[in-house]
Structure 1
Amino acid sequence: MAYFTLFLTAFAAATLLPAYSEILLGTLVSQGLSYWWLWFWATLGNTLGSVVNGVIGRQVDRFKEKRWFPVTEQQLTRARERFNRYGQWSLLLGWLPLGGDALTLVGGIMRVPWLNFIILVGIGKGLRYAFVLWLVAEASSAGS
């Protein structure tokens, strides 16, 4: 059940919902759970949450003319220009706490091929969770 909870929290954290999977990850490490499985479920959940952002991004053009749509055409143009400057490789930074979710949304707007999207986002998210697990391991060994 702990792994499933981590998966859901990591999934939510990659969307616009307020969730902090790193805190839960650190708590679960202290319970003696497998680092490998913690890394796997956190990375999978967070990557799939970013896929939701990509799907939403792919729908932007359908709704951008609606009065209720929260982004102006000028903001969309600016986001596209910035994304084009660095290309799909910028999705490796989808893990960033500020702006990472927006990058995956713009990746969807720009219609990055799904395989590239998932691989690049997954690498970034996986490296972040590996780093968090390493930090927790170092902190716990220093405290021993």
Structure 2
Amino acid sequence: MTGVLDLAVYGYAGLFLASFLASTVLPFGSEALLLLLINKGFDPISVVMVASVGNYCGACTTYYIGLVGRKDLVEKYLSIPQQRLDNAEKWFTKYGVYSLLFTWVPVIGDAITAMGGVMKLDFKTFSVLVFLGKLMRYAAVACMALGLLS
């Protein structure tokens, strides 16, 4: 927990960085920092927006790498195994672009994001769906922290 507490001293900037990193292939989470900042009295709406934007920006980075790379390069440089990429492709086949709403899901989310780039999905569509998914996730975490969801 020391790492989360260290980032907490940076407030919104620390949350943005944590959220950005959490949306890349690095094993990093941002929910604990979001909760910590809310508990320290930071504005919940601002916290949710900063986390959502940071997480969206990290997803855009992964999308771009997928867009300019090939599946084998995505696997090699993003450390996303071929099996996860194959699963992400199945999600796209089954659920279409709406699978982008679930890029926040651990394990498969990064692969879905990269696959969006590999499949050359329209960036506007990508942006709207990915941001909405991230926003809904962080809003739900904040609402649970505030006791609004039981």
| Pairwise TM-score range, normalised by the shorter structure | 0.7 to 0.9
Deviation at 1:85, TM superposition (A): 2.5
Distance in 1 of aligned mates of 2:62 and 2:112: 9
Residue matched to 1:64: 72
Deviation at 1:87, TM superposition (A): 1.3
Residue matched to 1:43: 52
Select the residue among 12, 23, 48 that pairs with 2:32.
Answer: 23
The residue identity in structure 1 corresponding to 2:59 is S
TM-score w.r.t. length of structure 2: 0.80
Deviation at 1:82, TM superposition (A): 4.1
Alignment length (residue pairs): 136
- Residues 59, 99 of structure 1: CA spacing in aligned structure 2 closer, same or farther, 3 A cutoff? same
Deviation at 1:79, TM superposition (A): 4.6
Deviation at 1:9, TM superposition (A): 0.3
Residue matched to 1:90: 99
The residue identity in structure 1 corresponding to 2:95 is Y
Q: Which runs of 5+ in 2 are unaligned?
A: 1-9
| 1:5 equivalenced with 2:11 (yes/no) | no
Residue matched to 2:114: 105
Distance in 1 of aligned mates of 2:124 and 2:20: 19
Distance in 1 of aligned mates of 2:72 and 2:145: 43
Q: Which runs of 5+ in 1 are unaligned?
A: none
Q: Secondary structure at the match of 2:106?
A: coil
Any idea what the Cα deviations from partners look like across 1:89-127, whole Å, max 9, x if unmatched?
110111112211111111111111111001000000000
Any idea what the Cα deviations from partners look like across 1:3-39, whole Å, max 9, x if unmatched?
0110010000000112110000011011100011101
| 1:34 equivalenced with 2:43 (yes/no) | yes
Residue matched to 1:80: 89
Higher CA-based Rg: 1
8 Å CA contact retained: 2:91, 2:99: no
The structure, 1 or 2, with the larger RCO (C-alpha pairs under 8 Å, 6+ apart) is 1
The residue identity in structure 2 corresponding to 1:64 is D
Q: Which runs of 4+ in 1 moved over 6 A?
A: none
% same residue: 35
